[in-house]
A = this chain, B = another copy of it.
Amino acid sequence: MNTFGERLRLTTFGESHGPAIGGVLDGYMPGIRIDYDFIAEEMRRRHPGQSIYSTGRSEEDKVEFLSGILDGVSTGAPIAFIIRNTDCNPDDYVELRDIFRPSHADYAWQMRYGIRDWRGGGRSSARVTAPICVAGALARLALEKKMPDLDIYAFTSQIGDISTSVEDEMSFSREDSESNPVRCPDAEKAAGMENLIWQLKRDGDSVGGVITCIIQGCPAGIGNPVFGKLHSKLGAAMLGINAAKGFEYGDGFKCASMRGSECNDPFAIEHGEVTTLSNHSGGIQGGISNGQPIRFRVAFKPTPTIAISQQTITTDNTPATIEAAGRHDPCVVPRAVPIVESLTALVLLDSIL
């Protein structure tokens, strides 16, 4: 179960402190020129060093492509790539070998497999999302050819109690959000979020948040009516991101308290084109895109790694106290923004191949 997608299949591998992480992207279109600079830029966006609060790895995530590309153009053969784990020192984690960190995957993994790679979270580390960003960048290169009007844009809409206004969503721009380290397009809110994170950094604590994603230019007719609904696929993808706790599209949970007469989106003709007068549906009806902007939100819990003493147990089920569970980054939500975009690109490309 390390493969994502049906026609475009991404298989990822690797652990936080093994020799390398990487992926194999199979089913990719032949004839796509690979923009290595774009891919490198996407890798920088996800990189821990990007976070000003992080004491994360200083290494650069250098992607080495092993197959599927000839003279810079995809051939239709599977594209394999690896990223070496250069800045890793398993010894840093040796104290975690015999203890289960609260709200990490440690205990559940041990129960699932009976053996656990304790080095920095192993396969459950957020580091394993890096290959998703490589594949997502490749997917966007192909989507540029297949759906030239498509724009996938994700941003931080909430950190702690600070959140952007839903009313402003459609006017936000990538420039606004990528210009600050929290990736929030509302400058004032962004400043507040930064302050909050600095405070938590001092406290040794962490905080959750929400990422909003808006897809513009997606034509109507993408998705499936029963089990492969477009929002089911997006939801499954997003819930697979480390620390994700919830997914909603359109008006989401708010719909629960709405009336049909206010939640329905009347169809209309504007400039000769079909449109809807509102978009509570979030661009998807009956599991299939309806040509309106697709909007969804993903909730993340606070990263469980905190620099505060916590009660827990050892691997031989003895109560214990853990003082700090590894590198402390108070809020990983901004770094999940490019992952949300990457997974969205992979889902869309998979849906149209």
Contacts and interface: CB of A to CB of B under 8 A. Distances in A.
Interface of A: 1-4, 7, 9, 11-15, 18-22, 24, 26-27, 30-31, 64-70, 73-80, 82, 100, 102-109, 111-117, 119, 122-124, 128, 158-161, 200, 205-210, 219-229, 231-233, 235-237, 239-240, 242, 245-253, 255-261, 263-269, 274, 276-277, 280-282, 284-291, 299-306, 308, 310-313, 317-319
Nearest to A102: B264
Contacts of A160: 256-257, 259
A13 B107 CA distance: 34
Among A7, A105, A161, A317, chain B packs the most CB atoms within 10 A around the CB of A105
A15 to B, nearest CB: 6
Contacts of A104: 285-286
Given A209-B256, A300-B256, A313 B268 contact: yes
B259 A302 contact: yes
- Copies of this polypeptide in the complex: 4
Contacts of A220: 107-108, 111-112
A67 B19 CA distance: 7
Contacts of A69: 18
Given A260-B206, A280-B301, A111 B26 contact: no
Given A268-B319, A274-B313, A280-B301, A224 B1 contact: yes
A77 B239 contact: no
A281 B103 CA distance: 7
A115 B232 CA distance: 23
Nearest to A284: B108
A182 to B, nearest CB: 13
Contacts of A114: 30-31
